[in-house]
Amino acid sequence: MTDHPTHRPRRLRTSPAMRRLVAETSVDPRQLVLPLFVAEGLTEPRSISSMPGVVQHTRETARAAVREAASLGLGGVMLFGVPEHKDALGSGALDSDGILNVAIADARDEVGDDLLVMSDLCLDEFTDHGHCGVLDDAGRVDNDATLEVYARMGVAQAEAGAHLVGPSGMMDGQVAVVRAALDAARHTDVAILAYAAKYASAFYGPFREAVDSSLQGDRRTYQQDPANRREALREALLDVQEGADIVMVKPALGYLDLLPLIRDHVTVPVAAYQVSGEYAMVEAAAERGWIDRERAIGESLTSIRRAGADIVLSYWAAEVARQA
């Protein structure tokens, strides 16, 4: 007679109701942030070929997307501006009538404080060379000169109505200068979501189309090397020391090991960005019938939450919330 096993973990997997009861990780709408691209001069949304289902919004359709995000109970929206004109200094980022700042104002006008309005604080969408900062005479990104622009950009976004600003350029000291500028301008309640560990990743490819990137060269001198792990913790700890209210890892799936590492060393919330390439891979494979799209979306988001992310930025945020 075969001895029967004493322990049967399968008992807790017998039905959907049982699995819901004992699930250790959830993905709730309040934990999700929807990135939105708002383009200057459009009269109707423009499809992004490498990101099926995602568009460059007009100001009006962006307002509608923000309203829906609030009605779905999402944690927030992260706004990116796509200007018609760019220059070497990214001056459109500072213009109160520039596309990102007016999109922030539009969003706040729609939802007030019912939804968190977040804004990308970086120059790459606004520079004609596509880098995240201003260049020196040798064509290199000048860290300290860029910080001066970031400080002004943070204040401009706060004055437009942003609840949180997201310094994403990976300049040394960016959080400290943005915090000091916000406080000096009496925007002490505006929070900073710091892109603390942002890697020089191949998974940003579709995003370049989404923002009409003009990038020349690459960003390896300021974004992190994918080979490095301890450096990510150092960056996160520095950002917290400089005043970050939330720290973020970007991309998410290829860097899941960083989430528990950082989560164990900081007391602020930890976010992760499920980037354009992660989105595009699932959509492309699903379109070919190679994977179950809905299950893949749910599994990928759950893995990011399970690894330690309190907040996830995802292009599927609204879709997932509709099904919650």
**Facing residues of 73 across strands?**
none
Please give the single-letter amino acid code of residue 293.
R
Distance of CA 151 to the CA centre of its chain: 20
Greatest CA span in the chain, whole angstroms?
83
Burial-class residue 175 by CB neighbours within 10 Å (0-12, 13-18, 19+).
buried
Residue 162 · residue 120 · CB < 8 Å = no
How many whole angstroms separate alpha carbon 210 and alpha carbon 206?
Answer: 6
State the Cα–Cα distance between residues 103 and 291, nearest whole angstrom: 36
Distance CA(143)–CA(149), nearest Å, equals 10
Catalytic residue among 250, 273, 282, 318: 250
Structure tokens at 40: 């200057």
Q: CA 175 from chain center: how many Å?
A: 16
Using alpha carbons only, how large is the chain's radius of gyration in Å? 20
Q: Is 198 a catalytic residue?
A: yes
To the query of whether residue 86 is one of the catalytic residues in this protein, the response is: no
**3-class secondary-structure state, position 118:** strand
Q: Which of 129, 187, 198, 263 is catalytic?
A: 198
Query: Which residues are marked as active site?
Result: 198, 250
